[in-house]
Copies of this chain bind each other. A is one copy, B any other.
């Protein structure tokens, strides 16, 4: 039987969160569990400030959130995104997602963020390779005005 709730489809239970942390050899503290489930419930990538706010800004210090995000990123539990803002956002790297590189569109009006399923830059990357660059990475993020705000 399918579960119905308001959270996004990638929401994970505390149980699953415990497992993910254990797999990566990260201690399962209240704060880390909260951060991970909060991120998975979110409908888009969150900034450190947003995470801190959502888990209850008095439940832990914001520096702890920063430290946790660094740790999660290193352990590839989350992905750090530069969406052209002056801070980073983070999203969980779900297992299926792991090798599924993707990008985002952000509404310049309401700030809502949607993920894009595709990313075919091979033609451009070929050109870059011809310039002599190897081990290519890229940042590609879109912004626009979403349907609601239009």
Over the window 91-126 of chain A, the binary record of Cβ atoms lying under 8 Å from chain B Cβ atoms (1 yes, 0 no) is: 000000000000101011000001011111001110
Closest to A84 in B: B139
Chain copies in the assembled complex: 2
**Which residues of the partner chain B approach A128 to less than 8 Å between Cβ atoms?**
105, 116, 142, 144
A132 to chain B, nearest CB (A): 3
Q: Which residues of B contact A118 (CB under 8 A)?
A: 124, 127
A140 to B150, CA, bound (A): 24
Q: Which residues of B contact A148 (CB under 8 A)?
A: 132
Bound Cα distance from A127 to B104, whole angstroms: 11
Q: Does A65 contact B (CB under 8 A)?
A: no
